[in-house]
Structure formats: C-alpha cells, structure tokens
C-alpha cells in the first residue's frame, strides 16, 4: 500500500527536478543570447546621414543664436536688419518679450510628457480613451475659436483635422479593444524596467535643453521687424528643423528602449534586477554611435509615411462598392505599402538589437511579418495612431495655453506663438509616448521571431494575441475568396454577353 504513494512522490520529485533543470538551461540560454547580442561588434551604417544631421544641428544652432541675440535687450544688436530692410513691415520688439511665453510652453509640455508617463502606468485605458475621443472635440472647438478670431485659414485647417480624426476613429472603432490590450501590456512591460523610465526622463531633459536654444531664436524671429510673410517662412524652416531634431531624439530613445525590451524578452525576465548591468550602457552606446546614422536617415521619412498609411487605410475601409474611387485609393495604398517596406518603425527594433542599416532593418522586419502572418496583426493594430493622437492632443493644449497668453498681450502675433508652441509641446509629449510605442513594436517583433518569448512572459496575452491573429488571417482568406468569386462571376457574365 505504501509503494504507490512512494512511487508517486518519487515521480513528482523527478518531474520537478527536470522542470527546474529545464528552467535553468533556458535561463542560461537566455543569458548567453543576451550577452552575445550585447557584446557582438557592430559596423557603422548610414554615416552620411549622421554627418548631415550634425552639420544641420550646428548650423541651425548658430542661426538660432544669432536670431535671438539680435533682439536680446537691444534692437538690431548684430545689425541684421540691413539685410531685411525690404521686408520691414512691423514694429520690432525684443527677444525677451516673447521668450518667457516659450519658456512656459516648454515647461508645460515637459509636465504633460511626464504626466503621460506616470498616468500610463496607473490608468492606461483611460488615457488612451481620452486621446481617441477628446481630440476630435478639441480640434472642433479650436476651429470655432479661429473663425471667431477671424483667422479663417487656421479655422479651416482645424475643421478639416477634426473631420479626418472623426472619420478615422469611426473606421477603426472595432479595433480599439485589441489595441487597448496591446498598449496595456506594453505599459506593463515598460514599468517593470525602471532603467527605461530613467532613460526616458533623461531624453525629455535633453529635448528640453535644445528647446531653450530653439525658442530663443524663434522669439527673436517673432520680435523682428519683418513682415508676416517673411517671418512665417522663416518659422516654417525652423519648425522643420525642430521636427527632424525631435524625431531623431525620439527614435534614438526608440532604439534604446526596443533593444532593452527585446533583450528582456529573450532573457525571460520581468524585472530589471536580474538584467545585465551593461545592457543599458551598450544600447545607448550603439544608438549614439554605430546606429546613429540609420536613426537620422529613418527619422526623415518614417513619420510622414506612417501617417499617410493610417489615413489611407481608414478611407479604404469605408469606401464600399464605389469601384472608381476604390481603384484610386488602392493605387495610393499600394504606393504607400511599397514605401512602408523600406520605411517602418519596426526597423528601429532590428537596429537596436542587431545593429543593421535602416533600409536593411525595415526590409527584414517587414519580410519577417509577412512570412509569419504577423503583418495581418500589425495592420489590425492602431496603437501608433493612438500614440500620435495623444502627442497631437498634448501639443494642442500647450499651443492653446501659449496662444491665449500671447492673444492677451500681442493679438497680432498670437497664432505665430501658438503654432510654434504647439510644435514644442508635440515633440516633448512625443518623447514620452515613444517609450510605450517602442514596447509595442518589440512585442510584435518578438512574437514574429519566436512566439514562445511572449508565452513565457505572459501566457494569457499570448493566447489572446494568437486568437486575434487567427481571426485576422481567416478574415483575409474570406475576403480573398470573395474577390476571386466576384471576378469569376464577372468573367462569366462577360463571356455570356459576348456569345
């Protein structure tokens, strides 16, 4: 009678020992993989673009300093007005008249970015819903205020933006539950790695330090005696420079965070205590040296192509049976899809982990998704669009606050100050948003490379994401069958009519 229990006890002990040994081997294997990825020597890629960015940064830094100093405490201190006397239409001011407004906008944008990071950890779903639903209303309200202030151009711009936002939300409303699930898991992953949050806050301060110089120069432009046309063109050029600089800094953070999250998934650790101490230092080193050119290159095009893709997908989903319009949209869609193959945000994970060039990384990531079917899941997810909505919303709040203050003091320059402050707010909030977006991209790349990495990290999430993938693949197969059947019927009707 005692033999069976003894045998059962011995069997359970053997299984437990085997499981323990297997876990130890997996841990060792994960540790070896992490060490191999971290210590592997990397080649320099896209060096030309890093040189262009550094030259651009030095050149624009010098121009911004000159523009700000020319009106600092003394009008035309550097005697620049002699080169623009043909365009003098306004009464000149001083840089320090407008610089405090930009200082408040910078502090406000930084506060919003830090608040986003903190609130995403405690109430991620609520924050995402705010980003989706409030933005449409806010754009409409700003449009009305612009018409009321007789700023008809901006009123039309914000009205169109509100309509496009509403149409997009309607077109993806059925995808939001899955998107919220992915975002919640991404936030959970990021918050379990405190090093990531420290790097994010460091990059926010780095962006803010560049904003000090940028706003100094912009305040000098706003204070200049040039006409509105000349000032607006100069502000557009400076805004494009800020957009590229902000995108490079955000994507550098993207590469660092993606590398850390991916390595954490390979190692199968949810906490940072057992993570290699040099992983953060190495990721940062690679991002700022061998991979920096790839980051600069990708930052020029990725954001614009992603935005076009989201809008075209939303329109395409709601066209219906209008074949002429569908044909035009499909043409644009395939053009953008071709560009996405070479410019996509998933390239930054490959850059952070393997140190490839940007185009090589983007192509490999997209081929990986298509070969595994994960591309159907990526197309269904709209977390990137929601992150962008949160970024735009943060920028709009910053721009509104600065614009209202400027309207009270200088009504004729309120929209200049408000629009440039909005861009500052978008860049600062975008740095906070990119942390979560990096985790999302890493999740999809990990799932495509080895689904078991996600299963070890969160089995329930693995089941949910696998079920959604199966549903999307079945949906695509059904649509393909419908298209083939429709084409066959069309051919049959044409052959019968010809007879």
Q: What is the DSSP string of 270-324?
A: SSSTTS-TTHHHHHHHHHHTTTHHHHHHHHHHHHHHHHHHHHHHHHHHT-TT-HH
pLDDT in tens, 387-425: 888 888 889 899 888 888 888 888 778 888 888 999 899
The phi and psi torsions of 88 (rounded to 5 degrees) equal -75, 115
pLDDT-derived band at 327, boundaries 50, 70, 90: low
Q: Give the other-Cβ count within 10 Å of 206's Cβ.
A: 14
- Reference 369, options 265, 466, 446; nearest CA is 446
Structural tokens at position 392:
């735009």
Of 323 and 67, which is predicted with more confidence?
A: 67
CB atoms within 10 A of CB 273: 7
Q: How many Å apart are CA 303 and CA 245, to the nearest integer?
A: 13
**How far is it, in rounded angstroms, from Cα 94 to Cα 419?**
20
- DSSP track, 242-276: HHHHHHHHHHHHHHHHHHHHHHHHHHT-SSSTTS-
When mean pLDDT is compared across 14-23, 66-75, 253-262, 382-391, the lowest value belongs to 14-23
pLDDT of residue 214: 92
Res. 493 pLDDT band, cuts 50 70 90: low
- Res 66: pLDDT: 87
Residue 82: DSSP 8-state: G
**DSSP structural state of residue 73:** S
Q: Which residues pair with 88 in a beta bridge?
A: 226
Which tokens go with 240?
Answer: 């494009």
Contact indicator for 440, 180 with CB cutoff of 8 Å: no
Residue whose C-alpha is closest to residue 483's, from 471, 495, 472, 491: 491
Contact 261, 193 (CB under 8 A): yes
Q: What is the Cα–Cα distance from 374 to 145, expressed in whole angstroms?
A: 44
The pLDDT-based confidence of 2 (bands split at 50, 70, 90) is very low
Average pLDDT over residues 72-94: 63
The segment with the largest mean pLDDT, out of 34-48, 304-318, 338-352, 417-431, is: 417-431
Of residues 28 and 254, more confidence is placed in 254
Average pLDDT of the chain is 77
Q: Rounded to 10 degrees, what is the CA torsion of 258, 261, 264, 270?
A: 180
pLDDT tens for each residue of 162-198: 888 888 888 888 888 888 888 888 888 888 888 888 8
| E-strand stretches of 354-414 | none
The rounded Cα 193 to chain-centroid distance in angstroms is 20
Most confident of 8-17, 40-49, 113-122, 471-480: 40-49
φ/ψ of residue 226, rounded to 5: -65, 160
pLDDT at 37: 55
For the ranges 18-22, 40-44, 82-86, 375-379, the maximum mean pLDDT occurs at 375-379
Check if the beta carbon of residue 175 is closer than 8 Å to that of residue 382. Answer: yes
Which tens digit of pLDDT belongs to each residue from 120-170? Answer: 666 766 777 777 778 888 888 888 888 887 778 878 888 888 888 888 888
Closest CA to 463 of 451, 475, 474, 473: 451
**Cα–Cα distance measured from residue 18 to residue 425, given in angstroms and rounded to the nearest whole number:** 55
Q: Are 362 and 339 in contact (CB under 8 A)?
A: no
Instruction: Read off the pLDDT band of 248 (50, 70, 90).
Output: very high
Q: Which residues contact 398 (CB under 8 A, 6 or more apart)?
A: 105, 108, 109, 112, 421, 422, 424, 425, 426, 428, 429
Residue that is written with structure tokens 């569908």 in the block: 326
Task: Say if residue 60's pLDDT is above 70.
Answer: yes
Residue 38's pLDDT is what? 55
Around Cβ 135, how many Cβ atoms within 10 Å?
22
């Amino acid at each position: 009678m005692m033999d069976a229990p003894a045998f059962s006890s011995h069997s359970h002990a053997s299984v437990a020992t085997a499981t323990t040994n297997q876990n130890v081997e997996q841990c060792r294997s994960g540790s070896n993989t992490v060490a191999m990825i971290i210590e592997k020597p990397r080649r320099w890629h896209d060096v030309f673009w890093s040189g262009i960015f550094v030259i651009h940064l030095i050149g624009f830094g010098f121009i911004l300093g000159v523009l700000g100093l020319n009106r600092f405490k003394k009008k035309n201190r550097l005697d620049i007005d002699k080169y623009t006397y043909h365009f003098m239409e306004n009464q000149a001011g001083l840089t320090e008249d407008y610089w405090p407004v930009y200082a408040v906008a910078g502090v406000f944008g930084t506060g919003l970015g830090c608040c986003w990071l903190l609130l995403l950890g405690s109430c991620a779903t609520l924050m995402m819903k705010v980003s989706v639903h409030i933005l449409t209303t806010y754009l409409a309200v700003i449009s009305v205020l612009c018409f009321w202030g007789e700023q008809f151009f901006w009123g039309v711009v914000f009205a169109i933006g509100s309509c496009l936002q509403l149409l997009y939300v309607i077109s993806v409303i059925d995808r939001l539950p899955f998107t919220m699930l992915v975002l919640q898991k991404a936030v959970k992953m990021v918050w379990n790695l405190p090093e990531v949050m420290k790097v994010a806050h460091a990059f926010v301060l780095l962006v803010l330090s560049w904003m000090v110089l940028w706003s100094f120069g912009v305040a000098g432009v706003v204070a200049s005696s040039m006409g509105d046309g000349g000032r607006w063109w100069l502000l557009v050029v400076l805004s494009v420079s800020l957009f590229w600089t902000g995108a490079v800094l955000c994507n550098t953070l993207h590469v660092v965070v993606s590398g850390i999250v991916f390595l954490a998934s390979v190692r199968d650790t949810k906490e940072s205590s057992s993570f290699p101490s040099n992983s953060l230092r190495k990721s940062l080193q690679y991002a700022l040296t061998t991979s920096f050119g790839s980051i600069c290159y990708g930052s020029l095009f990725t954001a614009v192509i992603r935005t076009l893709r989201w809008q075209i997908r939303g329109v395409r989903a709601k066209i219906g049976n209008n074949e002429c319009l569908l044909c035009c949209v499909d043409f644009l869609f395939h053009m953008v899809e071709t560009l996405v193959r070479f410019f996509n945000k998933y390239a930054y994970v490959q850059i952070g982990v393997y140190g490839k060039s940007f185009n090589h990384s983007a192509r490999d990531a997209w081929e990986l998704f298509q070969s595994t079917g994960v591309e159907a899941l990526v197309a269904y997810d709209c977390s990137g669009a929601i992150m962008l909505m949160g970024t735009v919303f943060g920028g709009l709040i910053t721009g509104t606050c600065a614009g209202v203050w400027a309207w009270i003091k200088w009504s004729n320059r309120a929209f200049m100050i408000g629009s440039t402050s909005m861009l500052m707010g978008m860049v600062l909030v975008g740095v906070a948003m990119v942390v979560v977006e990096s985790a999302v991209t890493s999740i999809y790349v990990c799932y495509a490379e080895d689904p078991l990495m996600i299963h070890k990290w969160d089995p329930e999430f693995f089941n949910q994401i696998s079920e959604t993938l199966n549903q999307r693949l079945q949906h695509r197969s059904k649509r393909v069958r419908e298209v083939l059947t429709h084409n066959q019927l069309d051919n049959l009707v044409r052959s019968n009519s010809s007879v």
